[in-house]
Structure formats: C-alpha cells, structure tokens
Amino acid sequence: MAEKNYDAKDIVVLEGLDAVRLRPGMYIGTTGSKGMHHLLWEIVDNAIDEISNGHGDTITITLNPDNSVTVEDNGRGIPVDMHPTLHKSGVEVVYTTLHAGGKFNTDNYKFSGGLHGVGASVTNALSKWCNVTVYKGGKEYYIGFHSYTDDEGKIHSGIPVEPLKMIGKTDKSGTKVTFLPDEEMFGNIKFNFETICNRARELAFLNKGLRIELNDVANEKQEIYHYEGGISDFVNYLTENKNRLFQKPIYFHGEDKNFDLEVAIIYCDGYTENSFSFVNNIPTIEGGTHETGFRSAFTKVMNEYARNSGLLKDKEANLLGEDFREGINVVLNVKMNNVQFEGQTKTKLGNPEAKTLVESLTIKELSKYFADKKNSTTGDIIVNKAKGAAKVREAAKKAKELTRAKNSAENFNLVGKLAAATSRNRENAELFIVEGDSAGGSAKQGRDRRFQAILPLRGKPLNAEKKRIDQVLANEEIRTIISALNTGIGEDFDLSSLRYNKVIILSDADQDGAHIRAILLTFFFRYMRELVNDGHVYIGLPPLYKVYKKDYTEYVYSDNELPEAIARAGRGYNLQRYKGLGEMNPEQLWETTMDPERRNLIQVTIEDVAEADRMITALMRDDIEARKHYINEHANFDHEDEFLKNYKKI
C-alpha cells in the first residue's frame, strides 16, 4: 500500500483529557498495578506502530530510580509542525487529545495496535509529569507536561508547561518519552521489571526484527529481546521443555488488503493443544473467529495431504480436528483493522471476516508449504500422530459406552468422600481440596459447614499433563473433583453448573504439597480453564509458624514476616514451625487457613498463559533431572515461590 506522508492536520480530534482522570477504569481497566503498566504499553504501542510501518528498529525502555520510565524509539519522530486549526504542535495534540492519532485514519498506518487504541494522551493524563523529546530533521524538540492543583483544589493533568520548542541540533531521529505515573491515582507506582520483560519478549516475538532493550537502572539489570525468526522463535521458546516431533516449525505468512496473517506450528509428543493467538499484538486468550478459521483450514489441508500422500486410504474416514490438535503448538498472529473484541474478558475476536480470511489464506499458504517435497517428512509426522489420536478416540468411545452405566453408580460413591455444605447457595459456597486424610479430618471439624465443603485427597492425583483425557477421567481423585464441581470437563465444561464459587487448594508448604498443587492447577488449566479464567480457583496459605506466649499468639505466613512477629511478641516467646496442615487441630486450621476473615488466599489468575504453560510443562516433566533443574533455577517452594508469583495475591 502506498504510504501517505502526513502531518499535524491529519490528527483526528475527539475529546478532552478530563474524562480520563474522572473514569480511569474506562481507559486502562484498573488503577492497580496492571493499569499502571498499561500507561507504559500505550507509549510502547505507539513506538511499535512506527517501527512496524518500516521506520526504525529499536525501542529502549528504562526504569529510572525515581520510578519514572523512559521509552525511546528511532523512528521518524512525532510530527512537530503546527496543527492548522488547533494552533498546537502535532506532539502537543497527540499528548493532550483523547483519541488523537492516525489510528483512526487507515490511510496513515496499515494497521495499528494499541491495547485499546486510546494512546499517549491517557498516559499523560494519568501521570504526575511527562516529557517528550522529538529528534527530527536534524533538530531536537522538547515539550513537558505536568499536573497541578488550582485555587479551587481541582487537579488538572497533562497540561503543557510551555509549547513545543526547538532546543538544539541532533543527528538522531526518533521519539523519547519519560513519565511518572500519578501516585495519587495508583498508590504504588513501582514498575515490575519482570512483568515488563515478559510482555517485551512477547512483543519482540510478534514483531520480527524489532529490538527491545530494557534497563532497570536502580537494580543494574538489562535485557535485550530481538528475534529474527519472529513467531517461529516463539513456538520454539514455548516448547523448549518439551520433546518436539520435528525440528523446524511450519511457518507461513499470507496477506490480503488490510489483513496480515502469520502462523508458526510445531508438534510435541504430549497430547494437549497449546494455541496462542494475537490480534494487533494483543493476546486473544478466549480465541475467536481467527482461531476458528485456522482450525477448519488446517484440518482440511492436512486431510488432503494425508490422502495425497497415501497415508489415509480411500476407505478410511477423514481425520477430525481434535485428532490434529493432540500435541500441537501454534502461534497465530493477525494484524487487521476495526477489531471487535467479545467474550467475558474481551479477549475473543468477533470479526466474521477474520474467519474467512484466515481460512482462505491458511488453505492457500499451507497447501503451498506441503506442495514442497522437502516438507513431506513434517507432513507425514503430523498425519501419523493424528492417526494415533483417532485410534485412541475410537477405542475410548467404545470404552465410554460400556462403562457409562457403571460410572454413574461410582460417581455417587465418589462424592461420598465429600463433606458437603448444608446450604445450597452457590454464591458463597467454597470447596476446600485438602491434602491428606488427617488434615481433611481437621478441616471437616473446623469448617463453617453452612457454606464450606471439604474434599480430602489421599495420595497424589494423577499428572494431567502427561495423560490423555480417557486416562485423566479414569483417575479416582480427579473424578471425585469433577463430580464435586459438577461442571464437566474439556469441551463439555459448563461454568453455569459450578457448585462452588471458590475452589480452594490446601496443601502443605513443602515439596510434596507444591507438587500436588501444581498437579491440580495443571488439571484445572488443561481441562477447566474457564474455571481459572473466571477467577474461581484459589490457593490457601497455611501458616508456617506460630509465635506465642502466655496470653499472646500470632501466626506467621512467610519467612520474611517472621523477624517482625518475633519482635512484636517480645522476650520469652515460643516458636512453633508447622511442617504440615496435619499438625493443626480443627480450631487452629479454622483460625489460620479457613476463616474468611483471617485466612490468606491467593487467587489463581492466568494473566500470562504462555508463561504459565511453560512453567507447568517444566514442573510436570517426567524427566526428573530437567524438573529439578527448573525448580532450582526458578522455584523454591516457599509461599513466595516462582510458581505463585504469576498469580495475583488477594
């Protein structure tokens, strides 16, 4: 597409900045840490837009010691000329006008990302101050914005201190922005280096060739992300801890007017599907039309390949989509205009044209890929893997029919282990899944039986990562959980049948407990993901210590807090260390771990599905050595462990 060179007059003007301070949630979702990080991503998105349109290649993000953050790119620099009717520089318009930007004019940039496309003015509106430097045409320009309180006590933010001015000469080209989030708005304004690293890595994978440098000045940390392989490198990264069935990922790219598609595929020896899709760099966690289009095209092309190569005989039935999904790892990257997001968390693509375009482009490009003889080994591996899956599917279907009657009788017994709650109200109902019979016994006695149900788990439930669905279903512990929750699993999962609003995993604070917890989370992640996405899964934290004296008791939940608790207790204190839940009597278990007023819960949220998946894969590996290695590097099964760090503490 011919690119139009535009200037300040092209900026579309819609609204003023006050709206943002008034209702920040509308623009950045929350005023918590996630919302604050959003301020940064708005700026980074603009830099990415510029670079992905062919101008520049590097973005640097620097966390400064005063909590401000600097983003710089080496693009063309935001336009500095005067807007003809607003009589302000292009930079000032972009930073003070809501919805300002070429984003709404498809002539300017082919596609535009932007988490919600609201832009830099939102960041400015929610910052204490914001400084912008533009390097353009041999000159350096500067404008500063700040927030202040007027005589009537009203706060004004994003106000230019002076108009844009030329401050010197330069041979650089690009834009540099530094801002300090407003502490009154966000409370804690510390950026999280690791969170930023994870998203920056993802952005570097999704935008081949883009270089992102991250610096944490105070902690002297630096990371650089740059992938010439783009999403092919991404699927390799995602499957680093798995056994791949072929070495080079399938990769193709296809385009149509205002539509770009890029797909990378690799198969591994497991049975689960791992698909990650993105639209304009935004993860579409709930999938949508682009995924649907891809699946149908992939199944079609692979069946054609299977027939043409003689791997599937005339008399044999076509392989199903689900057969091709076992062990597949896909990254689907779409760039398009006018995206519509739907679904519970607005992470599902709704545009109907995305289905047909992804479908036709995939059929075209993937057929081309397999027409090439040197890719036939890969094709054969995939078809043979799918044939294996189809065989098991047929066998499982027969077995299921045979045992259906028997199962319904057994399910009844299984739930017999469950100490149900007396009230039928689901709203505040809680299910505690408790490690071990003795802790289970204490929990049954200590609970508030009106709304708390207890399910004790003997032994370790089966590792859901390594098994096919029929084996998962055959496991007694897992079946007990499924029947207690009442939702069904996998494709049949139905959230509206859920009997408990909170599902709380209670395991010991040791290696075994962590393993059980990881297994349960893997199971929920693989077979009841909606339960997790919808925020029903929690981890209960039992205390690690009791500090006590004659008339004084304090429970301590982490090693960090212990010294302070000891200081509070003063001289002559006693210290008890809990090795497991089983050491607590029913009253203690209630006071410390079950009473909604006093307990500590961690809500399991999968904000970063890709990282959670990598972690789960690593933790669940059969290969003990690799697992140990991973655990040593990343996790110490404390309450503060790495595994829990991705999950939000409530």
Residues that bind ligand 28F (CB under 6 A): 5-6, 10-11, 43, 46-47, 50, 71-73, 75-76, 78-79, 94, 101-102, 108, 175, 177
Nearer to ligand 28F, 1 or 624 (CB): 1
* Angle, CA of 426, 430 and 432, to the nearest 5°: 150
Q: How far is the CB of 91 from ligand 28F (least distance, A)?
A: 9
Q: How far is the CB of 214 from ligand 28F (least distance, A)?
A: 14
Write down the catalytic residue from 260, 359, 508, 613: 508
Nearer to ligand 28F, 6 or 142 (CB): 6
Q: How far is the CB of 180 from ligand 28F (least distance, A)?
A: 15
**Distance separating alpha carbons of residues 411 and 434, to the nearest angstrom:** 19
Nearer to ligand 28F, 41 or 590 (CB): 41
Which DSSP letter does residue 520 get?
H
Residue 558 has a CB neighbour count (10 Å cut-off) of: 15
Tell me whether strands 328-336 and 601-603 are parallel, antiparallel or unpaired: unpaired
**Distance separating alpha carbons of residues 48 and 273, to the nearest angstrom:** 30
Q: How far is the CB of 5 from ligand 28F (least distance, A)?
A: 6
Q: Are 246 and 381 in contact (CB under 8 A)?
A: yes
Write down the catalytic residue from 233, 291, 435, 477: 435
Type of residue at 354: A
Nearer to ligand 28F, 76 or 546 (CB): 76
Nearer to ligand 28F, 72 or 202 (CB): 72
- CB within 8 A of 515, min separation 6: which ones? 460, 619
Query: Active site includes 510?
Result: yes
- C-alpha closest to that of 202 among 274, 262, 253, 278: 278
C-alpha distances out from residue 61 to 121, 223, 234, 366, Å: 19, 10, 21, 37
C-alpha distances out from residue 461 to 443, 476, 624, Å: 19, 8, 18
**Distance separating alpha carbons of residues 120 and 176, to the nearest angstrom:** 12
Q: How far is the CB of 226 from ligand 28F (least distance, A)?
A: 18
Nearer to ligand 28F, 41 or 647 (CB): 41
Nearer to ligand 28F, 137 or 490 (CB): 137
- CB within 8 A of 316, min separation 6: which ones? none
**Distance separating alpha carbons of residues 306 and 366, to the nearest angstrom:** 13
Please return the burial class of 642, using the count of CB atoms within 10 Å of its CB with bins 0-12, 13-18 and 19+: middle
Nearer to ligand 28F, 59 or 521 (CB): 59
End-to-end CA distance of the chain: 49
Nearer to ligand 28F, 58 or 296 (CB): 58
Q: Are 362 and 301 in contact (CB under 8 A)?
A: yes
C-alpha distances out from residue 491 to 196, 404, 425, Å: 34, 18, 26
Indicate the angle between helix axes 33-52 and 193-206, nearest 10 degrees. 30
Q: How far is the CB of 37 from ligand 28F (least distance, A)?
A: 16
Nearer to ligand 28F, 196 or 363 (CB): 196
- C-alpha closest to that of 243 among 587, 617, 607, 519: 617
Write down the catalytic residue from 194, 213, 380, 512: 512
Q: How far is the CB of 207 from ligand 28F (least distance, A)?
A: 14
- CB within 8 A of 162, min separation 6: which ones? 143, 144
Please return the burial class of 538, using the count of CB atoms within 10 Å of its CB with bins 0-12, 13-18 and 19+: buried
Residue 156 has a CB neighbour count (10 Å cut-off) of: 14
**Distance separating alpha carbons of residues 276 and 296, to the nearest angstrom:** 16
Q: How far is the CB of 56 from ligand 28F (least distance, A)?
A: 8
3-class SS of residue 88: coil
HSE on the CB side for 357, CA within 13 Å? 21
Nearer to ligand 28F, 73 or 613 (CB): 73
Strand partners, 438: none
Query: Active site includes 435?
Result: yes
**Distance separating alpha carbons of residues 419 and 520, to the nearest angstrom:** 19
Q: How far is the CB of 534 from ligand 28F (least distance, A)?
A: 35
Q: How far is the CB of 112 from ligand 28F (least distance, A)?
A: 10
**Distance separating alpha carbons of residues 291 and 299, to the nearest angstrom:** 12
**Distance separating alpha carbons of residues 261 and 248, to the nearest angstrom:** 19
Q: How far is the CB of 87 from ligand 28F (least distance, A)?
A: 16
Q: How far is the CB of 181 from ligand 28F (least distance, A)?
A: 16
Type of residue at 172: K
Write down the catalytic residue from 3, 107, 510, 564: 510
Nearer to ligand 28F, 140 or 323 (CB): 140
Write down how long the chain is. 650
Residues taking part in catalysis? 435, 508, 510, 512
